[in-house]
Homo-oligomer: A and B are copies of this chain.
Amino acid sequence: MRYLPLTPSDREAMLAAVGVAAVDDLFVDVPEAVRRKGLVDLPLHQGEIEVERRLGQLSARNLAAGSAPFFCGAGAYRHHVPASVDHLIQRSEFLTSYTPYQPEIAQGTLQAVFEFQTQVARLTGMEAANASMYDGSTATAEAVLMAMRITRRSKAVLSPGLHPHYAETIWTLAHAAGGKIERLPLAVDAEAKALDAIDGDTACVVVQTPNLFGTASDLTALAEAVHAAGALLVVVVTEAVSLGLLKSPGEMGADIVAAEGQSIGNGLNFGGPYVGLFATRDKYLRQMPGRLCGETVDADGERGFVLTLSTREQHIRREKATSNICTNSGLCALAFTIHMTLLGEAGLRRLALLNHQAARKLKAGLEDVAGVEVLTPRFFNELAVRLPRSAGAVTEALAARGVLAGVPVSRLAPGAGLDDVLLMAATETTTDDDISRLCGALAEALA
């Protein structure tokens, strides 16, 4: 068994040193009745050849995004990640190290986290960012809990464009702790509706831009109204690349920004692992969830980095912690940081422009398909379209033609009465040919 270095004679020598006759003697504390003598009912160990064959077969039974015209989005985007990113995150020293508890021998990880925090803060237009959350949805839920702590209020208003998975995640995390969640019905372009739901117990309004339907909005006015009501504005971004082109949440008045960082540095991975970005204003620092890396000096006065403000965290504060999070998305955050470092401001801006351009081309293509109506008024790289029939059925029909056309809203919100709406995203990886194949297949399917 290739991963187990002990030899039979090692084991013998070690048992002798311990002073027992057999390994079984080390398990004496396990009640006799539950000690299993035989093996569990699973196959025996296998070599690389067999394991690779099995996983290869499973892989072959999926249609990879890269092998089809591909327009799925809705919170997970297919971007090109430079080859060096994946190479670097696989370096032993990054891949096989733990959370940097001993900073003197973890400066590599820590400095990268410090760079990540700074990048995230700047990108979102905020003052501080943490070392990452699990993903955008859990980051959003934690933002709601944080807003409730800060305001000592218990209600969160979820705006009409918020991704349903995010809304459900917020509900799951918040309701048990006594939070009240008011979820407004889905709508393409009605963020301002959230204002109507604000009351004296409202801790925050959660608003997404670009929203589920791809609509990008200026939230400045909303932010002012929310603040006037003594609540906080939580801005959610599921497509981090949009931050390269659109006004930042901070500029528009956000108090907390929760975002999905997958688009930068990370692949689709069927939904995970992703990386939650979490940023806020300095004044709320001590209410933040998650790890924070801070600058300090060593005994020689040299600059170095450490995990800090851990009195917020579970391992110190236990039931009074700001969150229970421990393991986060370190390596995905590293991928984000490396990709962002490669892009730089110039590259990110161009990348964002190319995404927007691809979506405009997509829109132009779709407008030529009879029966298709584009719903999204202002978009970054994603559009909602109304089809003359069930979006789910059309998507399956196009998949059979080798085209992954997008995400039907019914998949996310079956009861919302939007069964004919399809979400379609385009990115820098979308070619003109992809769009014409999509439109051709769509015209056929709708004919």
Contacts and interface: CB of A to CB of B under 8 A. Distances in A.
A82 B428 contact: no
Interface stretch (A83-91, A169-177, A324-332, A414-422): A83-91
A48 B90 contact: no
A48 B82 contact: yes
B83 A429 contact: no
Contacts of A80: 48-49, 52
B83 A48 contact: yes
Interface string A45-74: 000110010000000000000000000000
Nearest to A428: B49
Contact of A87 (B52, B82, B90, B429): B90
Contacts of A2: 342
Nearest to A47: B80
Contacts of A49: 80, 428-429
Contacts of A87: 90
Contacts of A52: 80
**Considering residues A2, A49, A429, which has the most beta carbons from chain B within 10 angstroms of its beta carbon?**
A49
Contacts of A48: 80, 82-83
A2 B80 CA distance: 15
A182 B428 CA distance: 61
Contacts of A342: 2
A48 B52 CA distance: 28
A52 B80 CA distance: 10
Interface in A333-365: 342
Contacts of A92: 91
A2 B346 CA distance: 12
Nearest to A82: B48
Nearest to A87: B90
A80 B2 CA distance: 15
Contacts of A91: 91-92
Nearest to A88: B92
Contacts of A429: 49
A429 B87 CA distance: 28
A342 B83 CA distance: 28
Interface string A26-52: 000000000000000000000011001
Contacts of A83: 48
Nearest to A92: B91
11 contacts: A2-B342, A48-B80, A48-B82, A48-B83, A49-B80, A49-B428, A49-B429, A52-B80, A87-B90, A91-B91, A91-B92
Given A48-B82, A48-B83, A49-B80, 8 more contacts: A2-B342, A48-B80, A49-B428, A49-B429, A52-B80, A87-B90, A91-B91, A91-B92
Interface of A: 2, 48-49, 52, 80, 82-83, 87, 90-92, 342, 428-429
